[in-house]
Amino acid sequence: MTKLRIADKILKQVEKPARYIGQEVNSVIKDKNKVDIRFAFCFPDVYEVGMSHLGMQILYYFLNKREDTYCERVFAPWTDMEEKMRENHIHLFALESQDEIKNFDFIGFTLQYEMSYTNIINLLDLAGVSPWSKDRKEDDPIVCAGGPCAYNPEPLADFIDFFYIGEGEASLNQVLDIYKEHKKQGGTKEAFLEKLLDIEGIYVPRFYEVKYKDNGLIESFTPIHKKAKAKIKKQLVKDLDDSYYPSKVILPWIQTVHDRVNLELFRGCIRGCRFCHAGFVYRPVREKSKEILIEQGKKLLKNTGYEEISLSSLSTSDYSAFKEFSEELLETCQKAGVNISLPSLRIDKFSIDLMNKIQTVRKSSLTFAPEAGSQRLRNVINKRITEEDILKGSQFAFEGGWDRIKLYFMIGLPTEKEEDILEIKELAYKILDTFYSIPKEKRARNIKIVVSSSCFVPKPFTPFQWEPQCRYEEFMDRQNLLKKSIKRKEIQYNYHDATISSLEGLLSRGDRRVGQVIYYAWKYGAKFDSWTEKFNMAAWKKAFELTNIDPAFYANRKRAYDEILPWDHISIGVSKAFLIKEHQKALDEKTTPNCREKCAGCGAKIFERGVCHEIQN
Amino acid sequence: MKFIGHLDLLRLMQRCIKKAELPVAYSKGFNPHQLIYIALPLSLGATSEGEYMDIELTEDSLMTETEIKDKLNAVFPAGLKVEKVSRVKDKAKSGMAAVDGAEYKVFISKEKMPVYFNEKTEAFFEQKEIWIEKTGKKETKKINIKDKIYRYCVQEDKDFWIIHLLLAAGSKDNLKLETLIEALYQYIALDYNGYDIDIHRVDIYSEVDNQLIPLSNL
């Protein structure tokens, strides 16, 4: 057995020591003397959060399929363990071999949410290397990053040697092939990064120069290496049926958020909700065939021993063969004694019937995400669900015996007015009335409606990328208004402090200068920013003062269409012209049909596959 | 395995039993779960060579004991091993119901211990009564744990003091090992922190005709 990096005596003093020991069922152990490339795959959050993440499990096996590569997992040690590690001068290590990642070839970060950025700095520091790309030495690992937040790589540009833009399965192998060859021949890190300039989808920040105007706007963003591409094109898997999907997943030692088999039905989303980052960057929709899905599901269940399977995609019921697929899956699972859990369904009669069929457990709560209270505002954000749909869906649910409904909304959407907010209350009241309009013998006795609101953060590559975000006070005033208006006792309203969303507003549309803020916030003690109990606003405030960076410039400023945006050199396939058109339509309160109804000409057709071509065939 | 807690071990067992395709029986009702029971939870951080688990099989199952053993061992992670499988017909003799005692070895590093450790430990165990304070929800009770200690012995090794213990365990009478060690440290006037010692469980026992015999010999 592998010798643990951390002494027993320390492990006995920390919370959940199983986070640090590796060797789980289905983890990969290789002979480190027989590989050419050591890759540390870092999820910049704690073990049980990272282990729930499907993308990491896919890429873990994808990279380990290569005989020449040993990909190992690294998570952020919880603060109790970090303290012990620093006290005892223990460097950050990978779970599988328990070796220090300082000696690896690559340290790769997956960027799932902006609030993990300070953890990235912290992990590099714990690993014993400089967080700054320019200060790392020749024999330090190459630090790379990918994932959804990499579509705006600029806030991390000074820390990361290269970004991979798009889905890893598409061309990560090419990167490793070049590296292996490079390592064999010998050469500097800089020379390797130059070689990467030949590959589409790779962004090496050091080969670009940003100039700013006096007013703080970007004056120019230019390649300073002759091979550096002016536009970095997103890489994606064209055919998901042919693409690699693991037949097993690691069984985490401790309970995680998603402790079950995950089936990915498709990538992308046909809906085009205008606030949704994922809905644009993962375009076009690409589906897996029903047969492949059933086969993958069977294999995964067999190899993991899980008794629950979940369907994970952005809007599950948009899968084109959903009815046939769900029937077949239901049959397979009933035979095997496996439960199905269904997230993100559109609530209609079919879904309710389906849920009635699969519910073996007590009826849990049902979730709707109208996102906005008024039809006007739902048109603005292109959430094409009507009040009638919601009330009908609720009625089906109540008649089916459900007695708890959750409603999700966003506060601070563009053009939002007081009336829009009060309509959230109206909608909840109408759902309540729907419940009471059903004869007592046909519904549950009591009802509970939980209304939750989150604070809207404008994201890059969405039609709202030019919009100002609400200020902290505006968010709080609007939420208080709603809070005061809701009087019926069956309705519970949950809202959030807007501090973290405001900071997310800065980071998600930040430019290169924002890297300084992240660094100093970390220096002053910020880490685990997405954990309310660890969040340290004082550290961020000090960082703003020191770097002289005004968060409002990034979060609360309206941008002009002709402004150079920090992420303009990245191409997701969807054109800027389309995003402008969508933004205009939003202001005109006009909706856009989904991809299956009518192609809106967003530009994602260039990828040659997926929903864009399915219509024409 | 010692850093996997009791509930996590139970979850792991469920995965492994399903993966090994054992004909395990399920509970009835809304949320069916496998009918498996671990005889006596082991503290986080402790090792063991004598753990027992009951697996209730479906009535029509024909799988042999060797088959069950091999199938489980094929899916277990490193550090976990089935030594023996035996069929128990009578539920009253199932592991959990049968537990009356547990045997431990406690390793205490000599490095930080005073020279009189051995002597004091002997004196501690030789007391006629050993009183500890038990803090409950409402009040703090004083209880005598002397008759819950069935056997003890202190052995000297190169680096460690090894205390061998056989303690009351199970639903009828139970003494938590950590409670006892804490009382011992208090008696010697040492600070107990819980992480400087190593605990190893040797076996679990059942009382038959006034005699404690290992569950595996039942």
Interchain CB distance below 8 Å, A303 and B19? yes
Q: Could you say which residues from 298 to 317 on chain A have a Cβ atom under 8 Å away from some Cβ of chain B?
A: 302-307
Q: Are strands B160-168 and B101-109 parallel, antiparallel or unpaired?
A: antiparallel
* A42: β partners: A74, A109
Any CB–CB contact under 8 A between B87 and chain A? Answer: no
Residue B133: pLDDT over 90: no
For residue A23, CA distances in Å to A18, A196, B17 come to 10, 34, 19
Q: Which of A112, A153, A127 is nearest to A40 (CA)?
A: A127
Any CB–CB contact under 8 A between A587 and chain B? Answer: no
CB-CB neighbors (< 8 A) of A17 in chain B: 3, 44-45
CA distance B60 to B49: 31
What is the number of other CB atoms lying within 10 angstroms of the CB of residue A497? 15
The torsion of the CA quartet B115, B119, B122, B126, rounded to 10 degrees, works out to: -140
CB-CB neighbors (< 8 A) of B79 in chain A: 1, 23
**Closest chain B CA to residue A16:** B3
pLDDT number for residue A617: 45
CB-CB neighbors (< 8 A) of A21 in chain B: 3
CA distance A201 to A356: 45
Interchain CB distance below 8 Å, B16 and A25? yes
Interchain CB distance below 8 Å, A12 and B26? no
Q: Could you say which residues from 3 to 42 on chain B have a Cβ atom under 8 Å away from some Cβ of chain A?
A: 3-5, 7-8, 11-12, 14-20, 26, 30-32
pLDDT number for residue B30: 72
Q: Is residue A56 within 8 Å of residue A43, measured between CB atoms?
A: yes
pLDDT number for residue A363: 62
CA-derived radius of gyration, chain A: 25
Amino acid at B2: K
**Mean pLDDT, rounded, of chain B:** 90
Q: Is residue A161 within 8 Å of residue A144, measured between CB atoms?
A: yes
CB-CB neighbors (< 8 A) of A24 in chain B: 77
Residue B82: pLDDT over 60: yes
CB-CB neighbors (< 8 A) of A255 in chain B: 7-8, 11
Reduced to 3 states (helix: H, G, I; strand: E, B; else coil), residue A166 is strand
Interchain CB distance below 8 Å, A17 and B196? no
Q: Could you say which residues from 191 to 210 on chain B have a Cβ atom under 8 Å away from some Cβ of chain A?
A: 194-196, 198
pLDDT number for residue A32: 94
Residue B138: pLDDT over 60: yes
CA distance A593 to A595: 7
Of B7, B15, B196, the CB nearest to A304: B15
Q: Which of B170, B167, B171 is nearest to B179 (CA)?
A: B167
pLDDT number for residue A527: 97
Min distance B35 CA to chain A CA atoms (Å): 14
Query: Running along chain A, 617 residues long, what does each successive block of 10 average in pLDDT?
Result: 90 96 96 97 97 94 97 98 98 98 98 97 98 97 98 98 96 97 95 97 98 97 96 95 93 92 94 96 96 95 93 88 91 87 75 73 74 96 93 89 92 97 97 96 93 98 98 97 96 94 97 98 96 95 97 97 98 97 98 94 92 72
CB-CB neighbors (< 8 A) of B11 in chain A: 255, 259
| Mean pLDDT (whole number) for B138-150 | 88
pLDDT number for residue A258: 84
Of B5, B76, B195, the CB nearest to A9: B195
Which of A4, A12, A298, A334 would best serve as a mutation to test chain B binding (most B beta carbons within 10 A)?
A12
Question: Model ipTM?
Answer: 0.92
- Bond before A284 cis per omega within 30 degrees: yes
Reduced to 3 states (helix: H, G, I; strand: E, B; else coil), residue B143 is strand
Full DSSP string of A226-254: TT--SSEEPB--S-TTTS---S-----SS
Q: Is residue A509 within 8 Å of residue A551, measured between CB atoms?
A: no
Q: Which two tokens mark B70?
A: 């091999």
pLDDT number for residue A357: 76
Q: Is residue A69 within 8 Å of residue A176, measured between CB atoms?
A: yes
CB-CB neighbors (< 8 A) of A9 in chain B: 195-196
Any CB–CB contact under 8 A between B77 and chain A? Answer: yes
CA angle A193–A196–A198, rounded 5-degree value = 140
Can you say how many angstroms the Cα of residue B182 is from the centroid of all Cα atoms in its chain? 18
Tens digits of residue pLDDT in B51-79: 999 999 987 788 899 999 999 999 999 99
Full DSSP string of B155-192: EE-SSEEEEEEEEE-SSSS---HHHHHHHHHHHHT---
Q: Is residue B183 within 8 Å of residue B130, measured between CB atoms?
A: yes
